[in-house]
């Protein structure tokens, strides 16, 4: 019983003095974000994606990164087209969006990706341990570009 009380007392002294930190106990390590995610949040004017590409060849890593961005924008297709229809107050755009199938919305976004996707920021890393290039980037599509694609349909 005395050992339990003594152990509890020692532990409470260590933790209350701040000599043992949570990260020391759990082995946690803080990781710094590559990009400021608050700077790149979707809004009524722009949609963003964070993409990553990894490969032993730098150009392949960049290509994989680009394909990752395309896939992520396609996942956001419905939200992007709906945001475009809300931003543009003409009835013609709203009527077109209202009759569009999911596939048609993805087609609009695919066209936007091909011609209007812009890289906002990109960083290249190299892992010597894995002999791999890692390309991370942020891409953006402006809602006005989507509105123009819908109008031209």
Interval 95-119: pLDDT, tens: 888 888 889 888 999 999 899 999 9
Buried residues in 51-69 as b, exposed as e (16+ CB within 10 A):
bebbbeeeeebbebbbebb
Query: In the predicted model, what is the mean pLDDT of residues 75-92?
Result: 87
pLDDT of residue 122: 97
The neighbouring-strand residues paired with 127 are 132
The per-residue pLDDT for range 19-33, each reduced to its tens digit, is 556 667 777 888 889
According to DSSP, residue 45 is labeled S
pLDDT of residue 90: 78
Among 15-24, 74-83, 123-132, name the most confident range. Answer: 123-132
Buried residues in 116-152 as b, exposed as e (16+ CB within 10 A):
bbeeeeeeeeeeeeeeebbbbbbbbbbbebbbebbee
Say yes or no to pLDDT of 136 above 70. Answer: yes
Task: Give the closest residue to 118 by CA, choosing from 136, 135, 138.
Answer: 138
* Both tokens assigned to 20: 């043992």
Band the pLDDT of 3: cuts 50, 70, 90.
low
Domain range summary for the chain, segments of one domain joined by +: 1-26, 32-152
Say yes or no to pLDDT of 135 above 90. Answer: yes
Say yes or no to pLDDT of 13 above 70. Answer: no
Band the pLDDT of 91: cuts 50, 70, 90.
confident
Helix (H, G, I), strand (E, B) or coil at 137: strand
pLDDT of residue 129: 96
pLDDT of residue 31: 82
Would you say the pTM of this structure is higher than 0.85? no
């Amino acid at each position: 019983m005395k050992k339990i009380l003594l152990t509890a007392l020692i532990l409470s002294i260590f933790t209350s003095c701040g000599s043992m930190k949570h990260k020391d106990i759990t082995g946690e390590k803080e990781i710094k974000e590559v990009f400021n995610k608050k700077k790149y949040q979707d809004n009524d004017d722009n949609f963003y994606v964070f993409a990553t590409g990894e490969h032993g060849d730098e150009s392949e890593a960049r290509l994989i990164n680009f394909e990752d961005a395309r896939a992520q924008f396609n996942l956001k297709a419905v939200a992007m087209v709906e945001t475009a229809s809300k931003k543009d107050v003409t009835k013609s755009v709203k009527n077109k969006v209202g009759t569009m199938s999911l596939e048609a919305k993805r087609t609009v976004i695919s066209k936007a990706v091909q011609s209007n996707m812009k890289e906002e920021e990109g960083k290249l890393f190299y892992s010597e341990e894995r002999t791999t290039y890692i390309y991370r980037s942020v891409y953006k599509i402006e809602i006005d570009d989507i509105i123009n694609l819908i109008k031209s349909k």
